[in-house]
Amino acid sequence: MFVVIGATGNTGSAVIETLLNRKQPVRAVVRSAEKGQGWKAKGAEVAVASLDDVPALIKAFEGAKGVYLLVPPNYGAEAWLDDQRARMDRAAEAVKKSEVQHVVFLSSIGGHISGPTGPIRAASYGEHALGCVAKRLTILRPAYFMDNWRPVIGMAKAQGVLPTFIAPQAKIPMISTKDIGRIGAEQLITGGRGKQIMEMAGPEEYSPDQVASALGQILGKPVTVQHAPLSAVVPTFKSFGFSDEAAKLFEEMYTSFSKGAIGYEAPDKVVRGTVTLSEALRGMV
Q: What is the pLDDT of residue 54?
A: 95
- Residue 165 CA to residue 149 CA, distance in Å, equals 12
* Residues in the chain, overall count: 285
Each residue's pLDDT tens digit, 142-168: 999 999 999 999 999 999 999 999 999
pLDDT at 129: 96
Q: In the beta sheet, which residues pair with residue 141?
A: 199
So what's the pLDDT on residue 31? 87
Exposed, middle or buried: residue 233 (CB in 10 Å: 0-12, 13-18, 19+)? buried
pLDDT band at 99 (very low <50, low <70, confident <90, very high): very high
pTM of the model: 0.94
Say how far apart CA 31 and CA 8 lie, in whole Å: 9
CA distance 6 to 8: 6
Domains of the chain: 2-145+174-201+262-273 (3.40.50.720)
If you ran DSSP here, which 8-state letter would residue 106 be given?
E
Distances (CA, A) of 179 to 12, 66, 195, 272: 11, 19, 21, 9
pLDDT of residue 163: 96
Q: How confident is the model at residue 8 (pLDDT cuts 50, 70, 90)?
A: confident
CA neighbours closer than 13 Å in the CB half-sphere of residue 20? 19
pLDDT class for 78, splitting at 50, 70, 90? very high
Own/partner pairs for 151-154, CB < 8 Å, 24+ apart?
Answer: 153/215, 153/281, 153/284, 153/285
**Residue 35 pLDDT:** 87
Q: State residue 192's pLDDT score.
A: 87
For the chain, count helices (H), then strands (E).
11, 13
Q: C-alpha angle with apex 283: 277 to 285, nearest 5 degrees?
A: 100
The torsion angles phi and psi of 143, rounded to 5 degrees, stand at -80, -165
